[in-house]
Chains A and B, each alone.
Chain A
Amino acid sequence: MTISDKIIMHEKLAISVKKISKNYGGKNILSECTFDLESGSKTALMGANGSGKTTLLNILATLTSPSSGDACINGYSLKENSNLLRAQIGVLAHIPMVYPDFSPRENLYFFGNLYNLTNLDKRVDEILHLSGLWNRRNEKTNVLSRGMHQRLALGRAVIHNPKILLLDEPETGLDTGGLEMLKTLVIENSNMTVIASTHNNKNAEVWADNLLTIYKGKISTPT
């Protein structure tokens, strides 16, 4: 492989994980995980409960530091440029990460402001329409249903149009409309690199072009 081939290959890579391990309380949660994901790829991360999916996503989201190893996300090292790479990623976790005393509009406005977005009003309105929360935009979030919380959480995660989206079981609580929103906002966005943990094999087969299987903290089958 020539140097120019290597440069082109590097530019194509959105996520490059090198030998990431995580030990917690004397227990090996992740063990030397290594994989590469291309820009715009949609990857399903599958594995049993407790296999290390959430820990891996938390490490890529800079919320947990790895015990050893490093990852390169859009050219930024997890260890050395975590502040810079945070602007590139969006995170959807197990819990919605929204303020229950704020309305959906206030939540989106607050998180959008953290990314210093121009035209924030327009973007907030767009997300509220796409998520089907427009009619309830001024109600307190704590009166919304679980599915609506999840729609809002997804809206929060994509408010800044991230290049990389990390989703931890995004289908939880979503109805047909919510799944459609997930498809429109995330899956059909060709510029966005997505890695999502899921237990739903059938759905993953539809939207994912990559499959990562994690078993007892080890990546077993990158395909």
Chain B
Amino acid sequence: MRTTIIVLEKDLRIAWRDKAGWLSSLIFSAILIFIYAFAFDLAGTNSEPLLPGILWTTFLFSGIITCNQSFQQESVTGTLDAMIASPISQTSIFFGKFFCNLISLSIIQFMIIVLGTIMFQVNLINIEVILAIFLGTIGFVSLVTLLSAFEYRERFRAVLLPVIELPLLIPLLLAGVQASSSALEISNTSSPWLIFLGIFSLWGFLGSILLFPLVNEK
């Protein structure tokens, strides 16, 4: 617990000082929401049924930018190796990175939700939508944190994103879109998508904790 807090504090401080990660993620997300809003407005279509898809697409790309950033510097400077060579457990390193990414992405998601509410004139700030997003974000951040560590360890990192990372996230993203649709009362599906989302997130979270030390092994 102590070492997790040390790693988390260090990562949050670095994220705050090196503004490149969260700032590019935030601006990218805002631009994406603006483009979607204007495109659907021009087409004259009812954008409400598409809103969960728009939200989760935006979360996907902003999340990947944010989580990758947390390992990019560690990889270049070799500081991840310095942490691994110290007596702290690799689970502490994972938790520190996970919570830092979760906090950063949650702040960005909050901005996206507020902007989406304004641009699409649909109230996204309700407890059910936020619960679905939060639950999905836990699984999403776990997997992307694990895979970001993997990407920076491997020489074939360029192909990891399309070949492993995105396909692995598909079940979680589908459940996230469906659970958000149900929360917004867009779809009247009887399937318990929120429970599926919870199961996918739990699976992603536990799997990532177990696999993180193996990913760092050379």
Contact = CB atoms under 8 A, between A and B. Distances in A.
Max chain A Cβ within 10 angstroms of own Cβ: one of B13, B78, B82, B88: B82
Given A86-B85, A86-B87, A87-B87, A96 B6 contact: no
Interface of B: 2-3, 6, 10, 13-14, 17-18, 73, 77-79, 81-89, 217-218
Question: How big is chain A's contact interface, by range?
Answer: 20 to 34
Contacts of A63: 81, 84-85, 218
Contacts, number: 66
A156 B2 CA distance: 20
A128 B87 CA distance: 23
Given A99-B77, A100-B73, 19 more contacts: A63-B81, A64-B218, A83-B89, A86-B85, A86-B87, A87-B86, A87-B87, A89-B85, A93-B78, A97-B81, A98-B77, A98-B79, A99-B14, A102-B13, A110-B6, A111-B82, A114-B87, A114-B88, A116-B2
A115 interface: yes
Given A86-B86, A101-B14, A114 B81 contact: no
A115 B86 contact: yes
Interface of A: 58, 61-65, 83-84, 86-87, 89, 91, 93-102, 110-111, 113-116, 156
B84 A62 contact: yes
B77 A62 contact: no
Smallest CB-CB A-B distances: 9 pairs: A97-B82, A87-B87, A95-B78, A114-B86, A97-B78, A86-B87, A64-B218, A101-B17, A91-B85
Contact of B6 (A62, A87, A93, A113): A113
